Structure 1
């Protein structure tokens, strides 16, 4: 196990987060996604209401991330700056909860989250949302070159296939 993955697992343990076996692929992708000094504030797992995929939501000291590592479809990572989140709420049913996050024009809906974990996660994210911007570890938006370098690392480590790499690369280049 890589040292960064070991650090991440220790961080989760300290936060009393015990991911299920279903989150293993996403957790193993985190060392390639997180910046070296980026810290996890909280993490929950659930199901994306749209795709029905098992995913993890990660709140770090810099951003909110949605990570989906599907066997056939490769890796999907969406990240949002706390300043772009207009609301986060959770709704509880019998045993589980759902989390709705409004980011700009997108609504991210996750269900199948533990009740207690959903409440804690929303509280952590609201803490970051309410902080003045200078308190959030400010890193500039990654440049197109940074994004391409990260893609290259994901491909080299076998997380992305050649096809997925080319597809993501095209999206970045099209933004130029």
Structure 2
């Protein structure tokens, strides 16, 4: 075993690799990999994957609390949704991007960060976010909704190259590789 492989053995898999191996769509796995969280969120990430249609792209996830329920706040190219941990059957709250008037964040690393998405008939607040996740999530919503900066999207050819490496190393099945490849081609 080469030296770099030993280092990887001790470090473990990245969140994206772990979720891709579990059969989670690439966009959801990448969004989950950018959030401050750990493998205990994987069941909720799987729920997100079963609920999002194939033509809707997950852009960012944030762990936090909505009301008294801990779960994941999800930004897609169409909506902001909240999925509770240990709840199945869909999101507990959702707001269409086109109806968002305002997005704000607050809190601190010590007390936890919060995000509030406001529309004409809705206010969705998620608090107890880890580290700077509230600010990062709010900025991502602003970028997508109001166009304040380009949306963070990876080059589909770069993603395809990563998927090929995972397939060739046995970490991704041929069937899942083909499914993700079709999805990437459809995005071009």
User: What's the TM-score bracket when you normalise by the shorter of the two chains?
Assistant: 0.5 to 0.7
In structure 1, what is the equivalent of residue 77 of structure 2? Answer: 61
Q: 1:112 aligns with which of 125, 128, 138?
A: 128
Distance 1:126 1:18, change over 3 A: same
Q: 1:12 aligns with which of 24, 27, 31?
A: 31
In structure 2, what is the equivalent of residue 46 of structure 1? Answer: 64
Is residue 25 from structure 1 mapped to residue 43 from structure 2 by the alignment?
Answer: yes
TM-score after normalising by structure 2: 0.57
SS at match of 2:105: strand
SS at match of 1:38: coil
Based on CA coordinates, which of the two structures has the bigger radius of gyration? Answer: 2
Compute the displacement of 1:76 (Å): 4.3
Distance 1:6 1:82 in 2: 22
Distance 2:48 2:129 in 1: 20
Runs (4+) off by over 6 Å: none
C-alpha RMSD of the superposition: 2.7
Is residue 70 from structure 1 mapped to residue 89 from structure 2 by the alignment?
Answer: no
TM-score after normalising by structure 1: 0.61
In structure 1, what is the equivalent of residue 97 of structure 2? Answer: 82
| 1:12–1:18 Cα contact (<8 Å) kept | no
Distance 1:113 1:24 in 2: 17
Distance 2:28 2:79 in 1: 19
Any stretches of 5+ residues in structure 2 without a counterpart? 1-20, 152-188
Distance 1:97 1:22 in 2: 20
Compute the displacement of 1:62 (Å): 1.9
Distance 2:109 2:57 in 1: 32
| 2:34–2:61 Cα contact (<8 Å) kept | no
| 1:56–1:66 Cα contact (<8 Å) kept | yes
Distance 1:111 1:27, change over 3 A: same
Distance 1:94 1:6, change over 3 A: closer
Distance 1:10 1:25 in 2: 12
| 1:100–1:107 Cα contact (<8 Å) kept | yes
